[in-house]
Chains A and B, each alone.
Chain A
Amino acid sequence: MEPINELYSELWWSNLLRALLLIAAGYFAAKICTKLTQRLVGKRLSSHPLGVTTNAVFWIVWLLFLVNAFHQMGFKVSVLLGAAGILSVALGFASQTSASNLISGLFVLGERSFSIGDTIQVGTTIGEVLAVDLLSVKLRTFSNLYVRIPNETIIKSEVTNLTKYPIRRFDLRIGIAYNADIAKTREVMFKVANDNLLCLEEPKPLFIVSGFNTSSVDIQFSVWSAQENFLTLKNTMQEQVKLALDDAGIEIPYPHLSLYSGTATKPFPIEIHNIGEQKMTIPNRGANRERS
């Protein structure tokens, strides 16, 4: 009881006053330091990292004054710090996930792979970035859902920023029939791109015969647009290409399956049965029949 009695001695009130003054002065000093930080690095940092930096400055400065205030009140700072150390280790073990997210958050902020307002894809989720916080990134999906992604996930997984650059390429993949003229198809598609005002003239559209599939010759036609016109271009190009190919008589085939009965055998007889009543037989006309 003796130390407590000493604590309540005549010095107590003056120490308390000093401590309160230190806390108040610390608060104002921290505010001034925050303002100074804002002035010094405000132009170099975007709004979010700036907020994190100023918060950190405020708490560090004020914490120093708080520790000093405790010292004034007679607490042994070394003991307090030791206790804080043990507590932080215990807390660290208990909050591994949060700490991991916190550290990942610093890396996410430092990397600047995306910022507020960008549209990103994480895994299968695509959305507009609402906030980049220390623990998580908040997204708004195009179906207006609010998605919170922990920073640890962001650091560990592949993140695609869809709005990083001002222009974007749309790859239109289409198959044409084997009997279609590839040169004519190229001409038709370039004309569609040329007539579409949203399709950029430079970089030039790209026409690639990407492979020979089971039922079609596969074509990739890549066109560029401004970031903000991407969805409109995607919609209009697909519609216009379909119409233009139809007009030019170029078939977009559906899967075909050819059945051969072989040269040594007779062709397959085909019978079509209606439900219940009628029965119709189609006579054999050729060796090979195509069925789809």
Chain B
Amino acid sequence: MIALNDISRFEVQSTSAGDGYCLLFGQAFIQIQRHPNEWRAEYSYGEPARENGWIQFGELNTSRLIMNADDCTLKLTPKLANRPIVVRPLTTVEIPAGKRATLYISTILWLEIIVNDTPLLELPAVRLSDTWFGPNTREGELCYASNTRARLNPKLLETAPYKALTPVEINNRGSKKLSLERLKVPVPALSLLENEGDYWTSGLQASIETELNSAKIKIDYHPPASTTPIAAPRQPPEKGVLHRALNLFLE
């Protein structure tokens, strides 16, 4: 059984065919086994644990990777989601005119299983529902949907080894009160960092001048010195991509 706390540093040299490893990552149950000329990963998703501690899982899915007989290094890497995540605060957050607030949003991590530098499988800790983020049904982006408590203090957030925290600083420079109902976190453009056992992402800074659709967003590329980089952004932000993200950041 692989311990979750060591997941970002997990690397093992398998000695012989038949070696097996298993992991409970969020709601995902994963077991990896080395066969004579292949590596096989089986995974399934379950409901949250019941009172008696038992977890019921669904049907097992199998992923096979044909490798050489001497390919024996197994590595795990946590990653951020492959699509932006739209988070909806459980209660609407309002920011008065001229005020600034930093919200801490936690998002689900993905896990990449690598055998000798070849990816075997990549899967999320919790399967998230799809959602659409855009001004209408013709323009926009397909994202994952999630809920957030949008805490102002990161210590109040429930930390889990399969979640990453994103600090979002919102500066309401307009003359009206800002009501925050949905927020798109462009996680594929963020880096994943580790600080004292917790996962963090690069910070986001949003500045709203007059209207929500003119919000300017900035990614903080200078993480604190105490953090260790775990994974680079999946999509390095290009000029156009970031601009599109700005207009659609808040709704």
Contact = CB atoms under 8 A, between A and B. Distances in A.
| Interface of A, helix, strand, loop or mixed by DSSP | loop
A83 interface: no
Contacts of A196: 129
The bracket for how many chain A residues form the interface is: 10 to 19
A246 to B, nearest CB: 21
B137 A225 contact: no
A166 interface: yes
B155 interface: no
B86 interface: yes
Given A167-B132, A226-B130, A201 B145 contact: yes
Most interface-central of A197, A199, A200, A202 (chain B CB within 10 A): A202
B129 A203 contact: no
B127 interface: yes
B164 to A, nearest CB: 21
A166 B131 contact: no
B132 A202 contact: yes
Contacts of A70: none
Contacts of A202: 86, 131-133, 145, 182
Interface in B176-228: 182
B130 A201 contact: yes
A62 interface: no
A131 interface: no
A165 interface: yes
B128 interface: yes
Interface in B128-142: 128-133, 137-138, 140, 142
Contacts of A225: 130
Nearest to B141: A166
The bracket for how many chain B residues form the interface is: 10 to 19
Contacts of B86: 201-202
B132 A199 contact: no
Interface in A108-138: none
B174 to A, nearest CB: 24
B72 to A, nearest CB: 35
A35 to B, nearest CB: 29
Interface string A126-157: 00000000000000000000000000000000
Contact of B132 (A194, A198, A224): A224
B65 to A, nearest CB: 25
Contacts of B182: 202
Nearest to A168: B137
Contacts of A166: 140, 142
Contacts of A224: 132, 137
B112 to A, nearest CB: 21
Contacts of B129: 194, 196-197, 199-201
A199 B131 CA distance: 8
B16 to A, nearest CB: 39
Interface of B: 86, 127-133, 137-138, 140, 142, 145, 182
Interface of A: 165-167, 194, 196-203, 224-226, 229
9 contacts: A167-B132, A167-B140, A194-B129, A198-B130, A199-B130, A200-B129, A201-B130, A202-B182, A226-B142
